[in-house]
Amino acid sequence: MTHRLVAVAHVEYDTVTGWAWEAGSEYILTRYFSLVGQYTSEYGASGGFLVRFFTPGF
């Protein structure tokens, strides 16, 4: 969408539980921190704070 706002979606089918899906967005604050909002068919709405860890040399 933009270089700071990202849309995500995921759909899967399980032979036991059937269809499951999730959709959401992520707003990148800095290289290491993002705000995340998501909705899943199993758990409903959620939000959070994402922290990225980088290993030197990779």
Which DSSP category does 31 fall into?
Answer: S
Tens of pLDDT, residue by residue over 29-51, are 998 999 999 999 989 999 999 99
The set of residues, in sequence order, having a beta carbon less than 8 Å from that of 57 and lying 6+ positions away, is none
pLDDT band at residue 58 using 50, 70 and 90 as cut-offs = low
> With b meaning 16 or more CB within 10 Å and e meaning fewer, what string describes 14-41?
eeeeeeeebebbbebeeeeebeeebeee
> What was the pLDDT predicted at 37?
97
- In which band, very low, low, confident or very high, does the pLDDT at 56 lie, cut at 50, 70 and 90? confident
Q: Is the pTM of this model over 0.85?
A: no
